[in-house]
Amino acid sequence: MPRDGRLAHPKLAGDGRQAAALGAALRDVAMAELEAAGHAVQVSDLYAQRWKSEVDRADFPQLPQDVRLQVPAASRDAFAAGALTGDVLAEQRKLLWADALILQFPLWWFSMPAILKGWVDRVFSFGFAYGVGEHSERCWGDRYGEGTLAGRRAMVVVTIGGWQEHYGARGINGPIDDLLFPIQHGILFYPGYDVLPPFVVYRADRLDPDGFAQAADRLRERMRTLATTPPIPYRKQNHGDYLIPTMQLRPDLGRGAAGFALHRLDGKG
């Protein structure tokens, strides 16, 4: 099964200590495990690729200079015309090639680093990741469980400087599953991915060799079970749970849950 790893860690100095960097080390652990099982892996190292983070006019070379940039419309037209830039098209091809996507990043300010957000902003174009499908009484676009990437799996691998307790159900930062909801539900489930539970390493800056060995073992296990781990049971949009077009969860569903947990069949936060 092909795999697609995507990395957003600052490019490291090319010396012997590079392998000690946690992000690169975890990537290597995951790749080795996948390749040992016979999978093909493509890596997009955004820093090494010098990925362009900002959406701007340069992303739409066919947009006439006298037309004001409106990103959704420009994205729609460029995707339809096959006129997106080469770096974006290459990433879209990788996503269509891969059965699974792994987004690996350090949690910065409770979200992904800018360079990875810029990968999402540019690669997830109109017609590819949003603006897909018809709008009718039965369907409000192919999204949230349907769409271009349906039938594929995605998973977040995230390294966090803080303590696990600070990200617990009552921890001051907020529960990690809720902090990741805009990414896991809003970015990955939206265009169709089945989203696996996240792989999280806490106190990543202070991991000692034993701690790394344990994290590596956990990650290897997650790679071995990538095709079989049950995904987070997010509710699909067009399967009757939501009213169209207001997209409210039906009043008889989700009793006892609130917030993001409403959108999981198991009601968990």
Length of the chain: 269
* Of positions 181, 193, 199, 202, contacts its own copies by CB under 8 A: 181
Does the protein bind its own copies through residue 49 (CB under 8 A)? no
Does the protein bind its own copies through residue 192 (CB under 8 A)? no
Q: How far is the CB of 230 from its own copies (least distance, A)?
A: 22
Does the protein bind its own copies through residue 128 (CB under 8 A)? no
# residues contacting its own copies (CB under 8 A): 75
Which span (79-87, 151-159, 207-215, 259-267) binds its own copies, by CB under 8 A? Answer: 259-267
Does the protein bind its own copies through residue 245 (CB under 8 A)? yes
Separation in Å, CA 114 to CA 67, 101, 183, 189: 28, 19, 13, 20
Unique residue bearing structure tokens 């400087």: 161
**Closer residue to its own copies in complex, CB, 72/151:** 72
Q: How far is the CB of 37 from its own copies (least distance, A)?
A: 31
Q: What angle separates helix 114-123 from helix 86-97, to the nearest 10 degrees?
A: 80
Does the protein bind its own copies through residue 240 (CB under 8 A)? no
Which span (27-35, 119-127, 147-155, 221-229) binds its own copies, by CB under 8 A? Answer: 119-127
Pairing of strands 153-159, 194-195: parallel
Question: Which residues have CB under 8 Å from 131's CB, separation 6+?
Answer: 72, 75, 76, 141
**Closer residue to its own copies in complex, CB, 41/44:** 44
Q: How far is the CB of 265 from its own copies (least distance, A)?
A: 14
Residues 71-90 that bind its own copies (CB under 8 A): 71-72
| Alpha carbons 230 and 197: distance in angstroms, whole number | 8
Residue by residue, DSSP assigns 14-69 as SSGGGGGSHHHHHHHHHHHHHHHTT--EEEEETTTTT------GGG-TTS-TTSPP
Which span (27-35, 95-103, 117-125, 208-216) binds its own copies, by CB under 8 A? Answer: 117-125
| Alpha carbons 174 and 167: distance in angstroms, whole number | 6
Question: Which residues have CB under 8 Å from 169's CB, separation 6+?
Answer: 175, 269
Does the protein bind its own copies through residue 133 (CB under 8 A)? no
Looking at this protein, which amino acid is placed at residue 219? L
Does the protein bind its own copies through residue 239 (CB under 8 A)? no
Looking at this protein, which amino acid is placed at residue 114? A
User: What binding mask, one character per residue, do residues 6-45 give for its own copies by CB under 8 A, x or -?
Assistant: ----xxxx-x-xx-xx------------------------
Which span (81-89, 95-103, 165-173, 212-220) binds its own copies, by CB under 8 A? Answer: 165-173
Does the protein bind its own copies through residue 265 (CB under 8 A)? no
